[in-house]
Amino acid sequence: MSETKVKRVLTLDKELKEVELQLKKLELREKELELKLKDIETREKEASIKNETDRLDNTKSNLLVSQLYILNWMLESAVIDEEKSILGSEPKLMRTYDDDEIDIIKGKVFKILNKM
């Protein structure tokens, strides 16, 4: 082989190695970007899960508050005592629930408050 051909082959070989090196650098960069993308996707999924958990917690809290309102209404409720009320006068009221039932309702209220 002539000296120019040898130089050309060496030059081409050197250029080939440089291209291979650049290709490896690009492959490494691609892997880095893939890892960053997976990290971003993971963070997005975590944020989505947190948002859904917060939404469920809010819904649960709203339900507990609704239960408290209902139980409070039950404790405050009264009916007209027809035996003690006189027609044409102010009605006499009596509790809707007896003492045992009121204790049960209060127990439910405290259970709900402990959940909150």
pLDDT, one tens digit per residue, over 45-82 is 999 999 999 999 999 999 999 999 999 988 888 888 77
Residues in the chain: 116
Per-residue model confidence (pLDDT) at position 81 = 79
Quick one: tokens of 29? 């960069």
Residue 78 sits in which domain range? 3-115
Q: Per residue in 85-114, pLDDT tens?
A: 777 677 878 888 888 999 999 999 999 888
What's this model's pTM, rounded to 2 decimal places?
Answer: 0.55
Tally of domains within the chain: 1
- Select, from the ranges 3-7, 24-28, 101-105, the one with the highest average predicted confidence (pLDDT): 24-28
CA–CA gap between residue 94 and residue 2 (Å, rounded): 120
User: Parallel, antiparallel, or unpaired for β 78-80 and 93-95?
Assistant: antiparallel
